[in-house]
Amino acid sequence: MKDRMTMHQIIKDSIEEFKERLEDYPNGFYQGEPHDVIHEIADSNVPAYTSDLMELAAGDVSLATNEPELGPAFDGKPTPVNIVAANVYEAIEQALWEYWNEHENEIKASKDEAEESEP
């Protein structure tokens, strides 16, 4: 039986992926702000299947009722699935930016230490 997908778990997994990228590419990753990586992770962690998106919306009705700031996902038509997908994307993106803002100084210090230890 498949585990129930939740926004909490999706966001947790997205943050873990973000941390891994920071650790794996300390010198090539940080260029001031991680826009591209945040957008890439958010995009790749939005479920692709309608059933998964509807399951998320059933657990959090705001995913289906809030108007996404970026507009509907996929083809841009305001269908329920497209609205839910856009809201999931925006929630992941927001969580990643919050993580970055809370940990930016540590991330910069870690990057500086990595650069100083290179021969």
Q: Does residue 81 surpass a pLDDT of 80?
A: yes
Q: Average pLDDT in the 30-42 region?
A: 83
Range of the domain at 61: 7-107
| 8 A C-beta contact, residue 13 and residue 98 | no
Tell whether 44 is covered by a domain. yes
pLDDT at 114 over 70: no
Domain count of the fold of the chain? 1
- Are 56 and 90 in contact by the 8 Å Cβ rule? The answer is no
Residue 4, pLDDT score = 76
Q: Is 81 contained in some domain?
A: yes
Q: Please check whether residue 115 lies inside any domain of the structure.
A: no
Mean pLDDT value of segment 2-25: 88
Angle 17-33-29 from CA coordinates, rounded to 5°: 50
Answer yes or no: is 114 within a domain: no
| Domain CATH code at residue 59 | 1.20.120.780
Average pLDDT, the chain: 87
pLDDT computed for residue 75 by the predictor: 92
